Amino acid sequence: MPLQFSTVERRGRITIVTLSRPEVMNALHSDAHFELHQVFNDFASDPDQWVAIITGAGDRAFCAGNDLKWQASGGRRGWDSSGFAGLTARFDCDKPIIAAVNGVAMGGGFEVALACDLIIAAENAVFALPEPRVGLAALAGGLHRLPRQIGLKRAMGMILTGRHVSAKEGYELGFVNEVVPQGEALAAAECWAEQICKNSPMSIRASKQATQMGSMVTLEQAIADQRDYPAVRAMIASQDYIEGPKAFAEKRPPRWLGK
C-alpha cells in the first residue's frame, strides 16, 4: 500500500511508524487515520514483527492532534474502527507499541501516546488535552485513559484546564516512562524495544493481554480467568513455552520462535 501521510521502517523485529505531516505538526485528518489503520493492521498480522514504535516527523511535534484547519475547511472527518491514528480504539493488538514523543503531543496526539504501552519523551515534549479551548472534548480515549493511568484528581486537573504538561512533569505524574535529551526519543524507544525483543514474544503478548483484560474486572476474577485468555493459552501451547525453561537449564540464550 503506498503511504502518503506516514512512513514505515522495519528494523529486525521492530516496526517504526513515523507520522509524516510536519507542515501541520503531524496533525491528522481522515485520510491519515485510514492509512494508519492499515499500517497497524499490517504490523499486528506480521509474525516477524514483535514491537512497534510510533513517532513524528521533524523535531517540533509528535502529533498536534486533529487537523483543525482541515476540519474548519469542511474536510471529511472520521476514522476506521481502530480509532485516531489507527490506535486509540485498537483493543485487539497484543504486541507492544511504544510512543517516541519527540515534541508536541496535543489532543489526539496525546491520546495516541496514551493508547501506547510505553511513552518515551524528549525533554522538549509537551502534553495536553486542550479540546475544551476549541469547543471539543477528548473523545478518542483521553478522558478515560488519563484518569486510569494517573488517577482521577490529577487527570481532572489536566482535563478541565487544558494546561500544558512538560515531559518532566509527565514522568512525575506517571504517564511517561523515560525522559531523554531532545532528539533522542526514537533511539531511546528502540532501546526499550530491543530489550522487549529479548523476551519470548508469546510471553510478552500473554502478559500484555492479561494485564489489559485483568484491569477491567476484579482481582479475584482476573486471576481465575487469566489462563483462558487467548494469548495466555497460545503461550502455554507454544514452542517458546518449552524453549525457555530448556535454555535456562542448558545455560544458553533462548531461541524464540514466536509460536
131 is catalytic: yes
Which residue in the list 9, 23, 35, 111 is annotated as catalytic? 111
SS3 144: helix
Grid cell for residue 203: 510471553
Q: Please report, as a single letter, which amino acid is at residue 206.
A: A
Taking Cα atoms as reference points, which of 104, 156, 157, 155 lies closest to residue 127? 104
Rounded CA gap, 102 and 119, in Å?
A: 10
Over the range 139-172, which residues count as b (16 or more CB within 10 Å of their CB) and which as e? ebbbbebbbeebeeebbeebbeebeebbbebbbe
* 233 contact partners, CB below 8 Å, separation of at least 6: 227
How buried is 184 (Cβ within 10 angstroms: 0-12 exposed, 13-18 middle, 19+ buried)? middle
Q: Which of 9, 35, 131, 190 is catalytic?
A: 131
Count of all residues that appear for the chain in the document: 259
Gap between the Cα atoms of 201 and 233, Å rounded? 13
Gap between the Cα atoms of 41 and 66, Å rounded: 21
Q: Is 124 within 8 Å of 185 (Cβ atoms)?
A: no
**Residues noted as catalytic:** 111, 131
